[in-house]
Structure 1
Amino acid sequence: MHDSFFKKIEQKTGVSMDEVFTLANAIQYADFSDEKQVKKIVRKVSKIANKPISKELEDQIVKSVVEKGNKLNLNEIASMMNQKNE
């Protein structure tokens, strides 16, 4: 990929590509049955997305992810975050 492509993404989102790649790497190797690991990822996503979430919502997301394990649906998590923050 071209550096200019990444720069455009960084400018539009306000998120550095380093953060995106770090998160992608963490997700790729994550054990989604490990509640502590899932909680760290949820917090990281919330921070990167600049969408603070309540402890209650964090717990709901973590529970949902842990129950579904490797059938993780990131769209469903994003939807949960958007619904609770509206």
Structure 2
Amino acid sequence: MLIEVNHAIIRLTEVYKLLTIKFREIMAVTRLKRKDRKNKTVSRLEVQHLKLATNLELGSRSKEKATSQVVKNRNIIAELEKAAK
């Protein structure tokens, strides 16, 4: 009877090890899926940001507003450059 109990304990230990390995594999896959979802979302937001960004070039139809902070900064820099010369 003692031998049967030992065999049962050994068998349960083996089953426990297998279940632990399977559980870790499942958790790793879940973690990867979560990471992929995050990467997909970040990638989508980056593309959206790039699409919304305006490419202002000389001769471009899109003009910056005169009240834009960028235009104000450029004007101030131009004035400072003129004053420095």
TM-score (norm 1): 0.22
| Bigger relative CO (Cα 8 Å, ≥ 6 apart) | 1
Between structure 1 and structure 2, the one with the greater Rg is 2
TM-score (norm 2): 0.22
